[in-house]
Structure 1
Amino acid sequence: MRIGVDYYPEQWNRELWKIDADLMAKTGVRYVRMGEFAWSKLEPRDGEFCFEWLDEAISIFARNNIGVIMCTPTSCPPLWMYETYPDIARVGTDGNKVQTGIRAHRCLNAPMFLYYAKRITEILAKRYANSRAIVAWQIDNEIEAYPCTCEICRGLFRDWLIDKHDTLENINAAFGNSVWSGEYSDISQIQPPTAYPMAWQNPALCLEYSRFSSDMAVKFINDMAMIIKCVNQNARVTTNVWFSQNTPDFYKLFDLLDFVSYDNYPPVLIPEEEGEVYSHAFQLDLMRGVKQSNFWVMEQLSGPTGSWSPMSPTPRPGQIKGYALQAMAHGADTVMHFRWRTANTGAEMYWHGILDHSNTMGRRFKEFADLCRTAAKLNVIETTQIVSEIAILYSPDNDWAFSIQPQTEGYDYIEQLKLLHASFTRYGANVDIISPTADLSRYKAVIAPAMYIYEKEATENIYRYVIKGGTVVMTNRSGVKDQNNNCIMEPLPTVYRELIGAEITEYDPIGTLEQTIEDFSGSQFTCTAWCDILEPTTARAYAEYKDTFYEGSAAVTMNRYCSGVAYYIGTLCDYKFYDSFAANIMKQTGIPRLMELPRGVEVTTRTNGADDYIFFFNNTEQEVHITLPKAMYSIIDGGDREKLCLKPFDMDIVRK
Structure 2
Amino acid sequence: MKIGVDYYPEQWDRALWKADSDLMAKIGVKLVRIGEFAWSKLEPRDGQFDFQWLDEAISTFSRHAIGIVLCTPTSCPPLWMYETYPDIVQVGADGRRIQTGIRGHRCLNAPMFLYYAKRITEQLARRYANNPAIAAWQIDNEIEAYPCTCETCRGLFRDWLIDKYDTLENINAAFGNSVWSGEYSDIAQIKPPTSYPRAWQNPALCLDFARFSSDTAVKFVSDMAQIIKRENPRAKVTTNTFFCENTPDFYKLFSMLDFTSYDNYPPVRISGDDNNPNSHAFELDFMRGLKQRNFWVMEQLSGATGSWAPMGPTPKPGQIKGYAMQAMAHGADTVMHFRWRTANKGAEMFWHGLLDHSNVPSRRFKEFAELCREASKLSVIETTELVSDVAILYSPENDWAFRIQPQTEGFNYLEQLRYFHAAFTRYGTNVDIISPTADLSKYKAVVAPAMYVYDKASAENIYRYVIKGGTLIMTNRSGVKDQCNNCIMEPLPTVYREMIGAEVKEYDPIGNTEQTIADFAGNKFTCRQWCDILEVTTARAYAEYKDSFYAGSAAVTMNRYCSGVTYYVGTICNMDFYESFAGNIMKQTGIPRLKDLPRGVEVTTRTNGLDDYIFFFNNSEEEADITLPKAMYSIIDGGERETLTLKPFGMDIVRK
Question: TM-score category by the smaller chain?
Answer: over 0.9
Structure 1 residue 493: Cα displacement = 0.2
DSSP-derived class of the 1:3 partner? strand
2:301 is the alignment partner of 1:301: yes
User: CA deviation digits over 1:426-452, x for unaligned, max 9?
Assistant: 000000000000000000000000000
Give me the whole-angstrom Cα distance separating, in 2, the residues matched to 1:180 and 1:421: 42
Counterpart in the other structure of 2:627: 627
Counterpart in the other structure of 2:204: 204
DSSP-derived class of the 2:617 partner? strand
Counterpart in the other structure of 2:234: 234
Question: Counterparts in 2 of 1:480-495, with a 5 A limit?
Answer: 480-495=480-495
Structure 1 residue 275: Cα displacement = 2.5
Counterpart in the other structure of 2:510: 510
Structure 1 residue 274: Cα displacement = 2.4
Give me the whole-angstrom Cα distance separating, in 2, the residues matched to 1:271 and 1:636: 28
DSSP-derived class of the 2:77 partner? coil
Which letter does structure 1 place at the counterpart of 2:518? E
Counterpart in the other structure of 2:465: 465
2:330 is the alignment partner of 1:345: no
Structure 1 residue 33: Cα displacement = 0.0
User: CA deviation digits over 1:59-115, x for unaligned, max 9?
Assistant: 010001100000000000000000000000000000000000110000000000000
User: CA deviation digits over 1:270-320, x for unaligned, max 9?
Assistant: 012122111000000010000000000000000000001000000000000
User: CA deviation digits over 1:330-354, x for unaligned, max 9?
Assistant: 0000000000000000000000000
Question: Counterparts in 2 of 1:38-57, with a 5 A limit?
Answer: 38-57=38-57
Question: Counterparts in 2 of 1:470-481, with a 5 A limit?
Answer: 470-481=470-481
Counterpart in the other structure of 1:317: 317
User: CA deviation digits over 1:143-190, x for unaligned, max 9?
Assistant: 000000000000000000000111101101110000000000110000
Counterpart in the other structure of 2:328: 328
2:119 is the alignment partner of 1:152: no
Question: Counterparts in 2 of 1:598-617, with a 5 A limit?
Answer: 598-617=598-617
Counterpart in the other structure of 1:646: 646
Give me the whole-angstrom Cα distance separating, in 1, the residues matched to 2:363 and 2:489: 61
Counterpart in the other structure of 2:61: 61
Give me the whole-angstrom Cα distance separating, in 1, the residues matched to 2:104 and 2:581: 44
Counterpart in the other structure of 1:554: 554
Give me the whole-angstrom Cα distance separating, in 2, the residues matched to 1:592 and 1:220: 44
Structure 1 residue 565: Cα displacement = 0.1
DSSP-derived class of the 2:121 partner? helix
DSSP-derived class of the 1:473 partner? strand
Question: Counterparts in 2 of 1:70-89, with a 5 A limit?
Answer: 70-89=70-89
Question: Counterparts in 2 of 1:167-566, with a 5 A limit?
Answer: 167-566=167-566
2:37 is the alignment partner of 1:37: yes
Gaps of 5+ in 1: none
The TM-score normalised by the length of structure 2 is 1.00
DSSP-derived class of the 2:385 partner? coil
Give me the whole-angstrom Cα distance separating, in 2, the residues matched to 1:274 and 1:133: 46
Give me the whole-angstrom Cα distance separating, in 2, the residues matched to 1:61 and 1:171: 55
Structure 1 residue 596: Cα displacement = 1.1
Give me the whole-angstrom Cα distance separating, in 1, the residues matched to 2:601 and 2:451: 30
Number of aligned residues:
656
Give me the whole-angstrom Cα distance separating, in 1, the residues matched to 2:97 and 2:133: 40
DSSP-derived class of the 1:195 partner? coil
DSSP-derived class of the 2:296 partner? strand
Question: Counterparts in 2 of 1:16-27, with a 5 A limit?
Answer: 16-27=16-27
Structure 1 residue 595: Cα displacement = 1.0
DSSP-derived class of the 2:107 partner? coil
DSSP-derived class of the 2:255 partner? coil
The TM-score normalised by the length of structure 1 is 1.00
Which letter does structure 2 place at the counterpart of 1:349? M
Give me the whole-angstrom Cα distance separating, in 2, the residues matched to 1:575 and 1:500: 23
Structure 1 residue 58: Cα displacement = 0.2
Structure 1 residue 420: Cα displacement = 0.6
Which letter does structure 1 place at the counterpart of 2:646? L
Which letter does structure 2 place at the counterpart of 1:203? P
Counterpart in the other structure of 1:135: 135
User: CA deviation digits over 1:366-399, x for unaligned, max 9?
Assistant: 0000000010000000000100010000000000
Which letter does structure 2 place at the counterpart of 1:621? E
Which letter does structure 2 place at the counterpart of 1:409? E
Counterpart in the other structure of 2:586: 586
User: CA deviation digits over 1:197-245, x for unaligned, max 9?
Assistant: 0000000000000000000000000000000000000000000000001
User: CA deviation digits over 1:397-422, x for unaligned, max 9?
Assistant: 00000000000001100011001100
Give me the whole-angstrom Cα distance separating, in 1, the residues matched to 2:573 and 2:540: 19
Give me the whole-angstrom Cα distance separating, in 2, the residues matched to 1:484 and 1:228: 37
DSSP-derived class of the 2:386 partner? coil
DSSP-derived class of the 1:605 partner? strand
Misfit runs of 4+, over 3 Å: none
Give me the whole-angstrom Cα distance separating, in 2, the residues matched to 1:240 and 1:540: 46
Counterpart in the other structure of 1:165: 165
RMSD value, Cα: 0.4
Give me the whole-angstrom Cα distance separating, in 2, the residues matched to 1:284 and 1:74: 26
Which letter does structure 2 place at the counterpart of 1:13? D
User: CA deviation digits over 1:483-522, x for unaligned, max 9?
Assistant: 0000000000000000100000000000010000000000
Give me the whole-angstrom Cα distance separating, in 2, the residues matched to 1:595 and 1:538: 33
Counterpart in the other structure of 1:106: 106
